[in-house]
C-alpha cells in the first residue's frame, strides 16, 4: 500500500524505470524535484531491520544530495523510498522489491492518474520473450494474456489494489500495490485544504485589522499634535517680533 504521509507532500520522486519490482543486478535511478529544483531535498529509505540499520531507517544523501543511482540492485536494497526536506516536506513513496525469484511484475511504482492507461507486464528472468501469463488482483484471477502483458484502460480508484502475475511452468511474482490518484473535479468546489487556507487568511486579517487601525489613528494624532505645536511656536515668534518692533 501507499506509505502513510507524515509530512506535507509537495515534491516529486522521479523513478527510472518507474516500476516497483526488480531482478538482482538491474539498475534504477531515484531523484527528487520540486518545481524544477532539487535543492534542499534528499532521498530517504525505510527498510526492514538489519544489522546495518537496526532502527529500520536508512538515510541516503548528505546535505542537499537529492539523487540516488543503483547500478547493481541487491535484495538488501528492497524498501520504501521517498524524498524529504529539512523542513518536513516530502514526496510520494515507492516500495521497491528486489527479488531472487524467476518472475516479476512490471507495474508503475508511483501513483497513476485516474483516467490514464496502465500496462502491466509479467516478466520471466530466464526467458525474456513474451509468454502466456495470468494476472491477479487482490488474489483473484482477472485476466490471462498470451503476450505476457495486460492494459487497464482509463483506470479508476476501483482498480487500486495488489497485483501479481504467474507464468506457466514458473513461479508467480511478488505482489505490488497499484495506487490511483483521483482527478480533482472543477465543479466539486474548493477542497477542505483550500477552505482552511482561506479561513486562516481571513483570521489573520480579522486579528490584524484592529492593530493596523490603531497604528494609523495614533499616527494621525501624532501628526496633528506636531502641526498644532508648530503653529503655536510660529504664533509666539510672531508676537515677540511685533513687541520688538
Task: Judge if 84 and 117 occupy the same domain.
Answer: no
pLDDT at 225: 74
Residues 6+ apart with CB under 8 A from 191: 184
Range of 15's domain?
1-100
Same domain, 74 and 15: yes
Last residue of a domain, one of 100, 129, 162: 100
The low-confidence residues of the chain, meaning pLDDT below 70, are: 1-9, 35-39, 47-64, 128-130, 169, 184-215, 219-220, 222, 230-245
Burial readout 45-67 (b: 16 or more C-beta within 10 A, e: otherwise) = bbbeeeeebeeeeeeebeeeebb
Q: Looking at residue 185, what DSSP letter applies? A: P
Same-domain check for residues 70 and 23: yes
Cα dihedral 118, 99, 147, 155 in deg (nearest 10): -10
Based on the fold, state whether residues 178 and 205 are members of the same structural domain: no
Collapsed DSSP state (helix, strand, coil) of residue 167:
strand
- Residues 81 and 6 placed together within one structural domain of the fold: yes
Q: What per-residue confidence (pLDDT) applies to 85? A: 83
> 208 with 137, same domain?
no
CATH number assigned to the domain comprising residue 8: 2.60.40.10
Q: Are 115 and 155 in contact (CB under 8 A)?
A: yes
Query: Are residues 7 and 68 both part of a single domain?
Result: yes
Query: Are both 80 and 126 inside the same structural domain?
Result: no
Length of the chain: 245
Contact call for residues 174 and 164 (beta carbons, < 8 A): yes
Q: Are residues 42 and 116 in the same domain?
A: no
Tell me: do 145 and 197 sit in the same domain: no
The predicted pLDDT at position 111 comes to 93
Report the domain count for the chain: 3
Same domain, 165 and 227: no
Predicted confidence at residue 190, as pLDDT, reads 53
Q: Contact, 119 vs 149, CB < 8 A?
A: yes
Of the three residues 70, 100, 130, the one that is the final residue of a domain is: 100
pLDDT at 186: 47
Single out the residue in 74, 100, 126 at which a domain terminates: 100
Assess whether the previous peptide bond of 187 is cis (omega < 30° from 0).
no
In the prediction, which pLDDT does 200 show? Answer: 54
Do 76 and 123 belong to one domain? no
Amino acid at each position: 500500500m501507499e506509505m502513510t504521509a507524515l509530512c506535507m507532500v509537495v515534491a516529486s520522486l522521479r523513478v527510472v524505470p518507474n516500476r516497483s519490482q526488480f531482478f538482482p543486478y538491474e539498475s534504477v535511478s531515484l531523484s527528487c524535484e520540486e518545481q524544477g529544483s532539487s535543492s534542499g531535498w534528499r532521498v530517504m529509505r525505510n527498510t526492514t531491520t538489519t544489522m546495518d540499520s537496526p532502527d529500520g531507517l536508512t538515510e541516503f544523501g548528505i546535505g542537499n544530495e537529492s539523487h540516488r543511482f543503483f547500478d547493481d540492485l541487491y535484495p538488501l536494497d528492497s524498501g520504501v523510498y521517498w524524498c524529504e526536506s529539512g523542513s518536513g516536506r516530502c514526496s510520494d513513496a515507492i516500495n521497491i522489491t528486489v527479488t531472487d525469484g524467476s518472475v516479476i511484475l512490471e507495474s508503475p511504482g508511483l501513483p497513476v492518474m485516474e483516467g490514464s492507461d496502465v500496462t502491466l507486464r509479467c516478466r520471466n528472468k530466464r526467458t525474456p520473450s513474451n509468454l502466456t501469463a495470468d494476472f491477479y488482483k487482490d488474489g483473484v484471477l482477472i485476466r490471462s494474456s498470451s503476450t505476457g502483458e495486460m492494459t487497464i484502460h482509463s483506470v479508476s480508484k476501483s482498480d487500486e489494489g495488489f497485483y501479481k502475475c504467474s507464468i506457466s511452468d514458473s513461479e508467480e511474482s511478488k505482489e505490488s500495490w497499484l495506487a490511483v490518484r483521483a482527478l480533482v473535479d472543477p465543479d466539486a468546489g474548493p477542497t477542505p485544504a483550500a477552505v482552511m487556507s482561506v479561513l486562516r487568511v481571513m483570521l489573520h486579517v480579522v486579528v490584524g485589522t484592529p492593530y493596523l487601525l490603531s497604528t494609523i489613528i495614533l499616527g494621525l494624532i501624532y501628526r496633528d499634535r506636531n502641526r498644532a505645536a508648530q503653529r503655536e511656536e510660529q504664533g509666539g515668534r510672531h508676537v515677540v517680533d511685533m513687541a520688538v518692533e
